[in-house]
Structure 1
Amino acid sequence: MDFMERLCDKINDMPQLPVACKLGYLGVAESLVIYPLPGSKVVQEFMDGTSDQQLNYEIAMKSKSQSKINDVLWMIQNELEKLKALESQDDSFKFDELIITNKPFINQIDEQGWFVFLLDVQANITVF
């Protein structure tokens, strides 16, 4: 299923995005990533093997500029709140909705001055 890849593509399609979003976890330098969170579940399963699922994801950004992270994650959050369609490239899912479960928030700062902010979303999709 290519849902996470398509969501990452949607984020990267944003014209003012100063750093590319990637799948996986934060790197050692400035980075913007998306990864799955625990708690995803099958809501309903059908006889043909199709299922309605709730999938939890986190978008994280690391930078030494707190204001840059804040601006980027709020821009992504505003864009994702308006998301009405997301197409699978391999016909593995049908998009229903995306819910912002946590607005952007600070998660940590380390001794080298790196900030990490997070944005949590939940996707409701049908998986074929």
Structure 2
Amino acid sequence: MDFMEMLCDRINTMTPRLLVDCKLGYLGATESLVIYPLPGSKIVQEFMDGTTDQKLNYEIAMQSQSQNKINSTLWLIQNELEKLKVLDSQDGSFKFDELIIMNKPFINQIDEQGWFVFLLDVQANITVFKGGKMNG
């Protein structure tokens, strides 16, 4: 299923307004913007053909030494994702229903080298097709 990749690609279409590209995975040692899954995702309903409705939890994290850069970047992402109505699967493995902003961007940490980390949590409601493909 390519949902996380498609969400990351959608975030990257906000460039050039974004000053850093979003990647899958966790924060590195330098300035970065990433998306990764969080615990608590679940199947809400399963159908006879194996298709499932799912609630998937993700976190978008940004690390930088510029608190203003992080703040403006994550608020831009949050505002754009709040309006998201369509997100297509490239491989036909899911149908997008909605994306819920679980919280507004917030500071998570600052270290002694001056690196700030801010987080934004979202929940996606999608239909996942058995075998990774839409029927029909």
Using the size of structure 1 for normalisation, the TM-score is 0.99
**Alignment-derived partner of residue 24 in structure 1:** 25
Shift of 1:66: 0.4
Q: Distance in 1 between matches of 2:75 and 2:122?
A: 13
**Alignment-derived partner of residue 123 in structure 2:** 122
Runs of 4+ in 1 over 3 A off after TM superposition: none
**Alignment-derived partner of residue 35 in structure 1:** 36
Deviations 1:69-115 (A, max 9, x none): 00000000000000000000000000000000011000000010000
Give the secondary structure class of the aligned counterpart of 1:121: strand
Q: Distance in 2 between matches of 1:117 and 1:6?
A: 22
Q: After the TM superposition, which residues 101-120 of structure 1 pair with which residues of structure 2 at under 5 Å, given as runs?
A: 101-120=102-121
Shift of 1:117: 0.1
Q: After the TM superposition, which residues 1-128 of structure 1 pair with which residues of structure 2 at under 5 Å, given as runs?
A: 1-15=1-15, 16-128=17-129
Aligned partner of 1:115: which letter? F
Aligned partner of 2:114: which letter? G
**Alignment-derived partner of residue 133 in structure 2:** none
Using the size of structure 2 for normalisation, the TM-score is 0.94
Deviations 1:27-59 (A, max 9, x none): 000000000000000000001000000000000
Deviations 1:8-32 (A, max 9, x none): 0000000301000000000000000
**Alignment-derived partner of residue 132 in structure 2:** none
Q: Distance in 2 between matches of 1:103 and 1:127?
A: 27
Give the secondary structure class of the aligned counterpart of 2:72: helix
RMSD: 0.3
Kindly tell me the number of residue pairs found equivalent between the two proteins.
128
Report percent identity of matched pairs: 83
- Unaligned stretches of 5+ residues in structure 2: 130-136
